[in-house]
Chain A
Amino acid sequence: MTTRMVEVRAKVMKQNDLLARALRERFRSQGTYVVGLVSSPGSGKTAFLEKLIAGLARDCRVAALVGDLATENDAARLRRATPNVKQITTGTICHLDAQMVEKALETWRLDRIDFLFIENVGNLVCPSNYDLGEELRLVLLSATEGEDKPLKYPTIFNNSDVAIITKMDLAEAAEFDLAAARRNIESVHPGMQILEVSAKTGLGMQAVFDLLHARAFSSTF
């Protein structure tokens, strides 16, 4: 049997990308600054976010979407900092996509939210292909995970905007090589901004608040 070739040239992520773009426009028009967070499981995403939300909630209206395979534990923790928390339980799916975000937002008034955080499922591989319409993507790496994580997961470090090194209070005990970690991040994402924090002691958190304030209220947004 003979065959013929049909040129297609179609991006596989097109549908998600289009929806993410529409979400981004909606967020911008409503004045909501959206920050995505990605990391491996147990990197301290929720503790970091809890501190971040509590700090920002003093003078801003803050909300969070939390992706998790199962359980509402993370959402329950974040509700201590703001009542505006919604859990997206993904079941067996290892990442959030733009459609899940759109659906979760259905009942929220975006014009009443200044900052929206989207905590992805703990995973450094799968979320990297899915644009969620966020303005800024933070990738978290904890001092206890080891400094070579960026080399193992170059894609997600490359397509995130800022790297946050968490659990810095444990750096010494874990014999964490900060200079090597910074070098590895620079190697997979030249010029990437890197901040070091400890959600527990509060170390470095001010720099994160400053960054978010500056980005959210800058003229480019």
Chain B
Amino acid sequence: MHELSIAISMIDQIMEESDHRGGLDVEAVHLRLGVFSGVDKDALLFAYELACEGSPLAGSRLVIETIPLVIYCEACGQNRTPPSVYQLSCPECGTPGQKIVTGREIEVASLEVAA
């Protein structure tokens, strides 16, 4: 389970952001998580809570926005949503898609802080 390592990296980054801005009272963390990131959402939620214990982020909520897998279809010249994460081809013309547009994100989008 590498979600704990990911959660610890997240906390480090949030603390860095917080320090940059003179210290934030973080109530919630909004994360963009791609379905093709290799990170499990539930495992990350669990790991986050655990990793926050004893840190200034203890008690903060983790809100995860799931980002779908989108590939670029060379044949259609369009972004397409493939049939599944294990079939990277265009649903319209069937051309295999080598270019991933979204789906790999593990990104802290924003922080909800006490005003």
A144 to chain B, nearest CB (A): 21
In the complex where A2-B115, A3-B114, A9-B108 touch, is A129 in contact with B38 (Cβ < 8 A)? yes
Chain B contacts for A3, CB-based, 8 A: 27-28, 112-115
Residue pair A126, B2 in contact (C-beta under 8 Å)? yes
In the complex where A155-B36, A186-B96 touch, is A1 in contact with B114 (Cβ < 8 A)? yes
Chain B contacts for A191, CB-based, 8 A: 96, 98
Taking CB atoms and an 8 Å cut-off, the chain B residues in 2-24 that contact chain A are 2, 5-6, 9-10, 12-14, 17, 21, 24
A47 interfacial by beta-carbon distance below 8 Å: no
Q: Pick the contact of A12: B86, B107, B114 (CB < 8 A).
A: B107
Chain B contacts for A126, CB-based, 8 A: 1-2, 5, 38
B110 interfacial by beta-carbon distance below 8 Å: yes
- The B interface, classified by DSSP as helix, strand, loop or mixed, is mixed
Taking CB atoms and an 8 Å cut-off, the chain A residues in 1-20 that contact chain B are 1-16
Chain A contacts for B24, CB-based, 8 A: 6
User: What residue in chain B is nearest A155 (Cβ atoms)?
Assistant: B38
Residue pair A158, B100 in contact (C-beta under 8 Å)? yes
The size bracket of the interface on B is 35 or more
B54 to chain A, nearest CB (A): 19
Residue pair A129, B13 in contact (C-beta under 8 Å)? no
What is the CA–CA distance of A184 and B24 in the complex, to the nearest angstrom? 47
Chain A contacts for B100, CB-based, 8 A: 158
Residue pair B96, A12 in contact (C-beta under 8 Å)? no
The size bracket of the interface on A is 35 or more
Q: Pick the contact of B13: A4, A10, A128, A184 (CB < 8 A).
A: A10
A151 interfacial by beta-carbon distance below 8 Å: yes
Residue pair B112, A13 in contact (C-beta under 8 Å)? no
- Segment touching B, from A78-86, A90-98, A163-171: A90-98
B89 to chain A, nearest CB (A): 7
In the complex where A10-B17, A12-B13, A14-B13 touch, is A95 in contact with B106 (Cβ < 8 A)? no
Residue pair A190, B108 in contact (C-beta under 8 Å)? no
Taking CB atoms and an 8 Å cut-off, the chain A residues in 153-167 that contact chain B are 154-156, 158
What is the CA–CA distance of A196 and B88 in the complex, to the nearest angstrom? 23
A77 to chain B, nearest CB (A): 26
Q: Pick the contact of B113: A6, A11, A186 (CB < 8 A).
A: A6
Please give the residue numbers on chain B whose beta carbons come within 8 Å of chain A beta carbons, in ascending order.
1-2, 5-6, 9-10, 12-14, 17, 21, 24, 27-28, 30-31, 36-39, 85-89, 96-98, 100, 106-115
Q: List 23 A-B contacts (CB under 8 A).
A: A2-B114, A3-B115, A5-B112, A5-B113, A6-B21, A6-B110, A8-B14, A8-B17, A9-B110, A10-B107, A12-B108, A13-B106, A16-B9, A93-B5, A126-B1, A129-B6, A151-B86, A155-B36, A156-B38, A187-B88, A188-B85, A190-B97, A190-B98
